[in-house]
Every structure is written in C-alpha cells, then in structure tokens.
Amino acid sequence: KNQVEQSPQSLIILEGKNCTLQCNYTVSPFSNLRWYKQDTGRGPVSLTIMTFSENTKSNGRYTATLDADTKQSSLHITASQLSDSASYICVVSMNTGFQKLVFGTGTRLLVSP
Amino acid sequence: DTAVSQTPKYLVTQMGNDKSIKCEQNLGHDTMYWYKQDSKKFLKIMFSYNNKELIINETVPNRFSPKSPDKAHLNLHINSLELGDSAVYFCASSQNLGTSGTHNEQFFGPGTRLTVL
C-alpha cells in the first residue's frame, strides 16, 4: 500500500533551536519527494522538491535530505523562528504516467518564545 | 495577484443541500486539482483535470461533480450534502501532469472550510 508516515506527530521547541522531522514512505513507483509547510487556515506551500537523484536540497533555513534506498527523508530546520510554527507535510509523488501525490499526516511544529 | 484563489473561504450549510466551490488560477497552468483535508489534517486527492479533461477521479461519490469551463477554472459542485462531507477543500494547480524525474510543483489555494450541519 502506498503510504507516507511522518514522525513525530507534534513537536515543541524553543525559538532559536534546531529540529529535524522524519518521513518514511512506501510509495512506488517513486517520482519525487516534497516537503510542504502549512500554516493554520492556509493552503500548503512548497519548501523543497527532490527527485530520485537529489539527496539534499536547501531553502533558506530548511534543508531536506532524501535516501531513496531506505525510502526515508528528513527536514532540518535551523535557528527556528516563531513563524516556523506550522504543520510540515511530507509528500511523495507517484509516477503513474502522470504525477499523483501521496500525503503524509504531517508534523505539527510549535516554536515557543 | 493571487495565484490560486477559491471562493467561498467558509461555507456552512444544512444536510441535503447542494453547494458549489469555485477555483481559479492565474498561473497559466494546464493541470488543476481538488483535495480534501479531513479533521486529522490528512490531504487526499479527489480529482485532477488537464486542459479541461478529467484525469484522476479517486473513487469520490458521484454527488461530487467537478466542472472545468476552461483550463484556468475548476469548480466543485456537491449534491445532497452529508455530515461526512465536512472538511477543508483545497484547489491546486501545476504546470502540467508531470513526468518522472520532473518537479512539477503544485500550488495550493487557501482552502474552503465546509461545515455540514
């Protein structure tokens, strides 16, 4: 079954600290892996997209890694800010002739002052 | 200059009613999608359209009928609303259907929170 699992489910960190979110997937055939940030009451916004051949990608203070062999990804947030408080969703795109996204349930991050 | 817009943002209605949600994108994309986000915040694809043609229909009840008058618009009409239809519905668009090895980023609208009483 095509699934994307994320951990932890929720996380509270102090402002300025770093954190790492995990994603494991069983989606096949794999096309790419995305991390989205979803603020409360808003739609998801893309942070990074990685294809099979890309094993790391950065977007400012966000750095995503991908290990396609073990089917794992992580999102590292450096020097967290209050505005980082949001849900972070790992999404794997299947290639079935066209791309179809399989969403994880997300990690809810709260950055505390 | 909103990229993907949806109306209304909130929709409260009684069981059994018929309602529509509208979506428009000004990105010049060929492909549009509807997603449902349930109370556990899990997003799931409902439909995708490419150049006004239905591509994905994920076993959604036929009470849901998407309509794409042109490739910039994908509206969602729901008949005989049920309590279980309460959710946040997101519209999204991407350049095209995407092929293996490409990024084909999807851009999401702000969502429509539907509450069925």
Give me the tens of pLDDT residue by residue for chain A, a chain 113 residues long: 889 999 999 999 999 999 999 999 998 888 889 999 999 989 999 999 998 888 999 999 999 999 999 999 999 999 999 999 999 999 998 877 777 889 998 999 999 99
**How many Cβ atoms from other residues are within 10 Å of residue B82's Cβ?**
12
Does residue B72 sit at the A interface (CB-CB below 8 Å)?
no
Cα–Cα separations (whole angstroms), residue B93 to A83, A85, B2? 26, 25, 13
Is A65 an interface residue toward B (CB < 8 Å)? no
- Flag whether pLDDT at B41 surpasses 90: no
Residue B16 neighbours by CB distance under 10 Å: 10
A41 touches chain B (CB under 8 A): yes
Whether residue B108 and residue A43 make contact (CB cut-off 8 A), yes or no, is yes
Query: Considering CB atoms only, which of B42, B97, B107 is closest to A105?
Result: B42
CA distance A98 to chain B (A): 5
Integer Cα distance of A78 and A68 in angstroms: 23
> B92, A95: Cβ pair inside 8 Å?
no
Between CA A30 and CA A65 the distance in angstroms is 15
Does the N-terminal peptide bond of residue B8 adopt cis geometry, omega within 30 degrees of 0? yes
- Between CA B106 and CA B33 the distance in angstroms is 9
Strand partners, B43: B37
